């Protein structure tokens, strides 16, 4: 029996599995994932600030995935495309006939000297839980240390993850101050943005509103401040040093570390793909492999820029990749991937948010404030329904 192997149990991988199962192909479907659970990456910031329990945004794979799917909990170390095999840390080589690579992203901390080990990334569920524990420990330490840097939080990054984290943190700060007996008025949140302002590619009017929203609640923005070096309790911007005993790293993601060791043509460890999501060969021909989700680099045909990673992109890619695998199995052709964005929705704490919605004609509708929360709740339900 032929084997379809799916790597990664994020939105892309799980939706691909769901689509494959629905078509009931005459093949074994194997899902490989490092952890025995799936977690909702769009809500990691809620766990990091202590607002949401990890169990609310995660579920056990073996209890949720169709029982006909072979689930392997192991870490992918390398892909050998020539012999069509995936090397796993514990199980060694596992062979496939068709591959959907949805391994997801990794932290960008290796790009900045000193960042690894001295900052708190927000890429995985373990990252979010570590950030939560760290914040609580530092606030506890303040009773003895009276160190003002224990009350200072530096957020490095100016994208959606950074803004969502800061907004959630601001909402939690009064409760954290009361819980740990620290002076709320002395707690500081600083954002180091490498661009003139956060979300610089977002709608300018909504960006200004977000800046005002966060600024009025105490966030201090440091624009054009790319972090060049990190040491314990300190970030460096050029020749300037900024001290904080909590440093959150939300500068974006790279593709999986498996990418550079597996011979892919890649950009920042994201695999460059063709218009049908198959691989652009770097070292040979790999016609039975498709790469989707955060690990893929999909150019926008209108401007050539790579689409930013998002759940809606991953889910639509999964539809296309699953359809292409099934078509190839039946001797057919592959289909071109066409991304149809419905817009961007960003939570700002539990009661507010911003949205930039796009219709089929490319027209935008801008929303802000409490009414966006209804859209966010619907979006979260849609994401969950797409994978279970």
Residue-range definition of the domain harbouring residue 114: 109-249
pTM value is 0.92
Q: Which CATH number belongs to the domain containing residue 325 in this structure?
A: 3.50.50.60
Helix (H, G, I), strand (E, B), or coil: what is residue 3? strand
Are residues 276 and 237 located together in one domain of the fold?
A: no
Are residues 268 and 335 located together in one domain of the fold?
A: yes
pLDDT value of position 283: 52
Of 249, 275, 298, which one is at a domain's C-terminal end? 249
pLDDT value of position 317: 97
Are residues 151 and 226 located together in one domain of the fold?
A: yes
Mean pLDDT by 10 residues, the chain (388 residues): 96 97 94 96 95 95 95 96 94 96 82 91 95 97 94 94 96 95 96 84 86 94 93 94 97 83 82 88 69 91 84 96 95 93 90 87 85 89 89
Q: Answer yes or no: is 190 within a domain.
A: yes
Are residues 235 and 298 located together in one domain of the fold?
A: no
Are residues 216 and 269 located together in one domain of the fold?
A: no
> Residues 209, 369, 160, 340: is their CA dihedral positive or negative?
negative
| Predicted confidence (pLDDT) per residue in 322-353, tens digit | 999 999 999 999 999 999 988 889 999 999 99
Q: Answer yes or no: is 335 within a domain.
A: yes
Are residues 220 and 144 located together in one domain of the fold?
A: yes
Q: Answer yes or no: is 43 within a domain.
A: no
Computed on alpha carbons and rounded to an integer, the radius of gyration of the chain in Å comes to 22
The domain tally of the chain equals 2
| Predicted confidence (pLDDT) per residue in 67-99, tens digit | 999 999 999 999 998 899 999 999 999 999 999
Are residues 245 and 271 located together in one domain of the fold?
A: no
Are residues 188 and 163 located together in one domain of the fold?
A: yes
CA separation, residue 13 to residues 97, 101, 388 (Å) = 17, 8, 12
Are residues 324 and 314 located together in one domain of the fold?
A: yes
Q: Answer yes or no: is 179 within a domain.
A: yes
Contact yes or no for 73/33 (Cβ under 8 A): yes
pLDDT value of position 284: 54
Are residues 222 and 286 located together in one domain of the fold?
A: no
Contact yes or no for 7/100 (Cβ under 8 A): yes
Are residues 147 and 240 located together in one domain of the fold?
A: yes
Are residues 223 and 125 located together in one domain of the fold?
A: yes
pLDDT value of position 107: 77
pLDDT value of position 117: 92
How does DSSP classify residue 54?
G
Q: Answer yes or no: is 64 within a domain.
A: no
Residue 34 sits at φ, ψ, to 5 deg, of: -65, -40
- Strands, sheet with 234-237, edge to edge from the N-terminal-most edge strand: 229-231, 234-237, 240-243
């Amino acid at each position: 029996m032929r084997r379809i192997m799916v790597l990664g149990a994020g939105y892309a991988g799980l939706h691909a599995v769901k689509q494959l199962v629905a078509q009931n192909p005459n093949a074994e479907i194997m899902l490989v994932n490092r952890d025995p659970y799936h977690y909702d990456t769009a809500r990691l910031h809620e766990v990091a600030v202590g607002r949401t329990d990890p169990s609310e945004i995660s579920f056990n794979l073996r209890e949720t995935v169709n029982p006909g799917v072979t689930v392997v909990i192991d870490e992918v170390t390398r892909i050998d495309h020539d012999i069509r095999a995936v090397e796993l840390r514990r199980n060694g080589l596992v062979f496939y006939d068709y591959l959907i690579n949805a391994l997801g992203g990794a932290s960008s901390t290796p790009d900045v000297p000193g960042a690894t080990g001295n900052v708190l990334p927000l890429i995985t569920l373990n990252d979010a839980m570590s950030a939560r524990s760290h914040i609580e420990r530092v606030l506890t330490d303040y009773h003895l240390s009276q160190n003002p840097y224990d009350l200072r939080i530096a957020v490095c990054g100016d994208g959606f993850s950074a803004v969502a984290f800061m907004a959630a943190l601001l909402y939690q700060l009064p409760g954290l101050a009361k819980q740990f007996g620290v002076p709320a008025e002395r707690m500081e949140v600083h954002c180091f943005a490498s661009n003139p302002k956060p979300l610089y590619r977002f709608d300018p009017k909504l960006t200004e509103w977000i800046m005002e929203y966060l600024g009025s609640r105490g966030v201090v923005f440091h624009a054009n401040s790319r972090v060049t070096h990190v040491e314990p309790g300190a970030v460096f911007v050029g020749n300037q040093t900024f001290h904080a005993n909590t440093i959150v790293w939300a500068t974006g993601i790279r593709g999986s570390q498996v990418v550079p060791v597996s011979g892919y043509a890649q950009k920042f460890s994201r695999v460059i793909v063709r218009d049908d999501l198959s691989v652009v060969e770097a070292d040979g021909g790999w016609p039975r492999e498709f790469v989707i989700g955060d690990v893929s680099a999909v150019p926008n045909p209108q401007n050539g820029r790579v689409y930013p990673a998002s759940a809606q992109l991953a889910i639509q890619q999964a539809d296309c990749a699953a359809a292409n695998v099934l078509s190839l199995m039946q001797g057919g052709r592959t289909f071109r991937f066409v991304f149809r964005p419905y817009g961007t929705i960003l939570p700002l704490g539990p009661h507010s948010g911003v949205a930039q919605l796009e219709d089929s004609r490319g027209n935008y509708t801008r929303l802000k404030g409490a009414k966006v929360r209804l859209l966010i709740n619907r979006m979260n339900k849609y994401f969950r329904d797409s994978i279970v």
